[in-house]
Amino acid sequence: MQAQQENNYSSSSYTKEEISKLESRYQFCGHPLRITRDFSSNLGISAIIWEAGLVLCRYFEQEKISFSGKKVIELGSGTGIVGILAALLGGDVTLTDQLMVLNQIQFNITNNIPVSIQQRAKVSTLLWGDNLDQFPINYDFILGSDIVYNSRDFPALIKTLQHLSNQNTVIYLCSKMRESMGAIEFHEKLLPQHFNTEIVHRTADKEINVFKVTKKGLDAIENPLM
Ligand SMILES: C[S@@+](CC[C@H](N)C(=O)[O-])C[C@H]1O[C@@H](n2cnc3c(N)ncnc32)[C@H](O)[C@@H]1O
């Protein structure tokens, strides 16, 4: 069941003609990236390369973060740029999003990760809070850029982070701190109820933060004063 879930998407699902050619080029950690956004499928916000994603990639570069040999999952991958970089940096990465977005992610995996190591990047549907039992709980890293913007999703997002993480999991969330969309409430009130969280990077305009998040011990959750 597990293997099936993590491999439930095939690279043969798209044709090159199906993906419109709007390509943006970047370079992180010495890896050139060509990221294509699929405007032919009405993907909306998933067909944008969000600034928070680029900030998180730059953070990995500046901090020389290695994912070598690590088990990684990305939530709300969008174009896949963050998860693809994590795979190029050695991670065994599952890039997740809503089903309709997987074609775009797989296209970018195929275009950016050499065939010899493409098995490091798998795509899978993961709707926050849904069917979590199909995913393991032994990830070394959980990544998410610009996934904190809809307060209705916050309980499901926290449930997802709780399920996928253990005491050793490092979660990197990169968020644009839009108060009107609840990002401040999520990061300052909701997330700290269950996780230790610290800002490890902030853009010069202070609009985007990278948070390093780890699961609180059971004692801390049962007795927050400890
Ligand atoms: C603002 S985009 C960010 C995309 C990408 N991480 C980036 O930084 O460019 C948010 C992504 O989260 C996904 N998403 C939103 N709600 C979701 C949910 N409930 N379950 C799974 N994915 C969701 C969207 O499909 C979208 O691709």
Domain ranges across the chain: 2-222
d(CA 38, CA 216): 39
d(CA 109, CA 118): 7
Q: What is the DSSP letter of 217?
A: P
Percent of the chain at pLDDT > 90 equals 77
Tell me what pLDDT residue 21 has.
59
Is the pLDDT at 12 greater than 70, yes or no?
no
N-term to C-term CA, the chain: 39
| Average pLDDT over the chain, rounded to an integer | 89
Tell me what pLDDT residue 47 has.
85
Token digits of residue 64 = 């020389």
Tell me which CATH homologous superfamily contains domain 2-222. Answer: Vaccinia Virus protein VP39 (3.40.50.150)
**Measured CA angle at 195 (ends 90, 139), to 5 deg:** 25
Cα separation values, 14 from 112, 136, 177, 184, 206, Å: 16, 28, 35, 38, 39
Tell me what pLDDT residue 17 has.
58
CA 148 to ligand 1 centroid distance, Å: 9
> Which runs of consecutive H residues, i.e. helices, occur in the chain?
2-6, 51-62, 81-88, 102-112, 154-164, 183-185, 218-222
Q: Tell me the HSE value of 59 on the side-chain side, using a 13 A CA sphere.
A: 23
Task: Write out pLDDT tens, residues 46-88.
Answer: 888 999 999 999 999 999 999 999 999 999 999 999 999 999 9
Question: Bridge-partner residues for 204, per DSSP?
Answer: none
Minimum-distance ligand 1 atom for the alpha carbon of 144: 6
pLDDT band at 217 (very low <50, low <70, confident <90, very high): confident
Pocket test for ligand 1, best of 46, 124, 177, 208 (most atoms within 8 A of CB): 46
Residues with CB under 6 A from ligand 1: 45-46, 49-50, 52-53, 76-79, 97-98, 101, 126-128, 145-147, 153
Choose between 13 and 25: higher pLDDT. Answer: 25
Q: What is the DSSP letter of 75?
A: S
Tell me what pLDDT residue 96 has.
98
Minimum-distance ligand 1 atom for the alpha carbon of 126: 21
